[in-house]
Amino acid sequence: MHTSRVVIAIVFLALIGFSVHARAQATVTDLTGLAWMAGNWSGVQGGVEMEEFWQTPKGNTMLGLHRDVARGRTVSFEFLRIEATPEAIIYWASPRGRPATPFRLIEQKEKRVVFENAKHDFPQRVIYWLGDDGALHAKIEGTMNGKPAAEEWTWRRAAAGY
């Protein structure tokens, strides 16, 4: 009798543990809440053509690309990736093809996400949001040389295959 109670208790605890783990993993690895970022986006700021492309969430990743063009020449580009792991959602930025820097998701609302890496030189935060007018916005912020610093971009939906 005692052995069967122990076995039942072990099975019960294992099921509870699996249920909690499965629920936590489903929450963390679900990128569908970021689908509003997907698409081709373009804008012009200060004479610079800015383009950003995000694939739809699939296979626990979203792949992205950013390119700035001025006077017919690429002046900046960045490879981007958002990856859902069992532990967290991570935004990876690889400016100009350099090694990627991770930023952990710290805030997610319906049409706004904030990623942070407090140990990175600059930026420490990467923020994306979809405006009421349908424009995609991004902002990087943090401190640079001991002073607050930020940059911001705004894009509108563009035709596929820019």
* Predicted confidence (pLDDT) per residue in 125-144, tens digit: 999 999 999 999 999 999 99
Q: Residue 2 — very low, low, confident or very high, per pLDDT cuts 50/70/90?
A: low
153, 52 contact by CB (below 8 A): yes
Q: Residue 162 — very low, low, confident or very high, per pLDDT cuts 50/70/90?
A: low
pTM score, whole prediction: 0.81
Query: 115 by DSSP, 3-state: which?
Result: strand
104, 118 contact by CB (below 8 A): no
Could you tell me whether strands 73-84 and 89-95 are parallel, antiparallel, or unpaired per DSSP bridges? antiparallel
Amino acid residing at 127:
I
Q: Residue 82 — very low, low, confident or very high, per pLDDT cuts 50/70/90?
A: very high
Domain residue ranges of the chain, discontinuous segments joined by +: 31-157
pLDDT score, position 12:
42
| Superfamily for the 31-157 domain | Calycin beta-barrel core domain (2.40.128.20)
* pLDDT over 90, % of the chain: 79
Q: Residue 19 — very low, low, confident or very high, per pLDDT cuts 50/70/90?
A: very low
Report how far residue 128's alpha carbon sits from residue 48's, in angstroms, rounded to the nearest whole number.
Answer: 20
Average pLDDT over residues 100-122: 98
Average pLDDT over residues 84-94: 96
pLDDT score, position 160:
73
